[in-house]
Amino acid sequence: DAGITQSPRYKITETGRQVTLMCHQTWSHSYMFWYRQDLGHGLRLIYYSAAADITDKGEVPDGYVVSRSKTENFPLTLESATRSQTSVYFCASSETRGTQYFGPGTRLLVL
């Protein structure tokens, strides 16, 4: 589990501000994922990446931007935060055809 980390672990921001959540993995996994977790909705996929410079939308991509210039990093940016983006965000990684391993999560509160 220590192979995938997220920062910050907790973040409070205001509506309209830009926020970037970081995800770093040391396993050299090809795939990386961003999920948000809200009560009643389980885990919903925001974006995922199959390799460096390859990203694709998931179920709920609106309001988010991702990049993957290096295999080990997959930052998630909220360009203009809204209250509806208050959530717990999990990053995950996997090898090709492997199971997904989750980071510890980032709790984001948008005021």
Cβ-based burial of 81 (10 A; exposed 0-12, middle 13-18, buried ≥19): buried
Place of tokens 């460096």: 52
User: What is the total count of residues that contact another protein (CB under 8 A)?
Assistant: 27
Q: Cβ closer to another protein: 85 or 100?
A: 100
Strand partners, 45: 35
Contact of 110 with 11, CB cutoff 8 Å? no
**Window of 19-27, 66-74, 78-86, 95-103 that interacts with another protein by CB under 8 A:** 95-103
Rule CB under 8 A: which of 6-65 touch another protein? 30-31, 33, 40-45, 48, 50, 58-59
Provide the binding-site residues for another protein, judged by CB under 8 A. Answer: 1, 30-31, 33, 40-45, 48, 50, 58-59, 90, 94-105
